[in-house]
A and B are shown apart, each in its own frame.
Chain A
Amino acid sequence: MFWIHKYGFTNLSYKALYSFQSLKLFILFRIVDPFMNYLFYATLVSAMIGSDYLSFVVIGNIASYTCHTIMINFMTMFRFERRYGTLELNIASPSPTLWIIIRKAIVPLFDGMFVFTVGLLIGWLIFDIPLPLDQIGNILVLFIVTLFSVLAFSLLFACLSLLFANVNLFLNLALAVFQVFCGVNFSVTLLPNSLEFIARMLPLTHSIEALRSIYGIESYSVYPLLGKELIIGICYLLVSLVFATMMEKVARKNGALLKSV
């Protein structure tokens, strides 16, 4: 594959900008930390409403943690670019800005893939949620669709980070909103109608329902949900396309590219 090339863009982006470069860090932050996070919510629900509900919450949190990983690390790359003063060097190159942003996303995508896979394994081995092996194909499709919609949504933030030196507060707020409104810990049908309407416009909501359905915890049909997720992703991607051009223009206008952290 073209991106695994030793001097390829992706590999170099990873080496230059990614926080997790040793096996120890990877085990701690990609296996232990997510596990603790699943355990946290699993304990909360067990204490509150009993352990029947445990698999529902763990599955939701696996999807949500994957999304966290992708978004946070994607944004961190841009923060580092600014700290190193390399953001403007990238933007000033003849490669289109959106192309650069998208190619940089490949690294957190791989990371997300890993977290997702490990998450399902943790669910199986530790929380005793059997992997529906006969539905591996569906899981794979779900996986690709979800990564796409999460990435499309993250692009919005990446574009914002051209303009603002520190988008972390927005990002944290967005992630908190995801945690509450995407049906991670409870079904979005419990939300008041207006909030459910908003929740259904966010990425992840339909994916989580689909994933639970694959696991037989909920009983929706999987493909219509994934179709919706895909459409949502496409919408965010289109908005990002416009946004990237716009943000670059605004950033050039007010000199935001040149600010460091």
Chain B
Amino acid sequence: MENVIEVKDLTRVYKLKEGNKLALDHISFDVKRGEVFGLLGPNGAGKTTTIKILTTLLLPTEGDVKVLGYDVVSESQKIRNQINFVYGGERGVYGRLTGKEYLYYFCTLYKVKRKEQPALIDKLLDLVSLKEAENQKIHTFSKGMIQRLHIARCLINEPKILFLDEPTIGLDPVGARLLRDLVRELSEQGITVILTTHYMQEADDLCDRIAFIRDGKISIIGEPSHIKESCNHLNLYEAILSTEHLEKLKADQTFKNVEEEVLKGSFVHIKFEMKISSEDEATSYLEQFGQVLKLSKREISLEDAYIYLMEDVG
């Protein structure tokens, strides 16, 4: 498959009063046509900077960035015709306009012929299920509706690549699901999607490939399954035990990333990571804190991999 995005040695430095901040440090990656590509990482890792550069709103300090074969520095106009982007949150809308008016506005900016505008807008509003709210002012919209309106907006120019920067942030579960379904649908139509998100499950569900970014560098890149495999050496357990010494257990350095959930009385469900790889040995170590009712190794999720890889960030 051909590459629609090629990033080589991309570096971005922000000049701040307190000195220079290195937001991206020689990162390189490619994205193939039709892929859903995830950029994951903690706040300030450089995800948004990457997206802003790819969408031509920010110039790289160093490095080669090509989108659809065009250079982001010198051929930004050619790129702008064929991409579009959405970022999370409630910004980027004109509250006083109705959903329909908002789309007309952007149709003009994207040079859609006047005759074709009504049909296109109808189709888009339908796609994002906002047909009924089309004449409502945007300031009355819920967060989920605003996000869907953004999706409708970004499809106006039939983009070949879509950039979605934390599109599900702050959405309720139903809204987030609607949006994920939309992304899947768009991807099936052959649109390349670049996605950033904090929700690992979401990334795991949607993305064909993922890059973890930390401190301006890519720490790992690959398919979600591949990333999970890279963490196979981790011993992740879940157990149910009856204990009076939960605090002591949590203080014990042998266990890492302990998550607990009190079931009833002294019964707790805990998840943790430890160096010991055999279940029997783990059980016997755990027994010094209470009675172990059940213990089993658990499958590595993308979240586990993320926590492991981002361990000492922030």
Contacts and interface: CB of A to CB of B under 8 A. Distances in A.
A–B contact with Cβ pairs below 8 Å: the answer is: yes
A94 interface: yes
B202 interface: no
A222 interface: no
A83 to B, nearest CB: 9
A88 to B, nearest CB: 5
B57 A88 contact: yes
A90 B105 CA distance: 10
A21 B95 CA distance: 14
A89 B102 CA distance: 12
A94 B77 contact: yes
Contact of A94 (B55, B95, B111): B111
Contact of A255 (B58, B81, B97): B58
Chain A facing B: main interface SS: helix
Given A93-B110, A94-B81, A94-B157, A7 B92 contact: no
B108 interface: yes
Interface string B111-132: 1001001000000000000000
A15 B96 contact: yes
A162 B153 CA distance: 23
B97 A15 contact: yes
Interface residues of B, number: 34
A239 B138 CA distance: 38
B121 to A, nearest CB: 9
Interface residues of A, number: 31
B55 A92 contact: yes
A7 B110 contact: no
Nearest to A5: B114
A9 interface: yes
A141 interface: no
Contact of A90 (B101, B109, B111): B109
A16 B105 contact: yes
Q: With a 10 A CB-CB cut-off, give which of A8, A89, A91, A257 has the most chain B CB atoms.
A: A89
A215 to B, nearest CB: 40
Contact of A258 (B57, B81, B97): B57
A12 interface: yes
A88 B86 CA distance: 11
A84 B91 contact: yes
B101 A12 contact: yes
Query: In this complex, which of B76, B100, B109 has the most chain A Cβ atoms within 10 angstroms of its Cβ?
Result: B109
A253 B59 contact: yes
Given A7-B101, A8-B108, A86-B93, A254 B57 contact: no
B198 interface: no
Interface of B: 14-15, 52, 55-59, 76-77, 80-81, 84-85, 91-97, 100-101, 104-106, 108-111, 114, 117, 153, 157
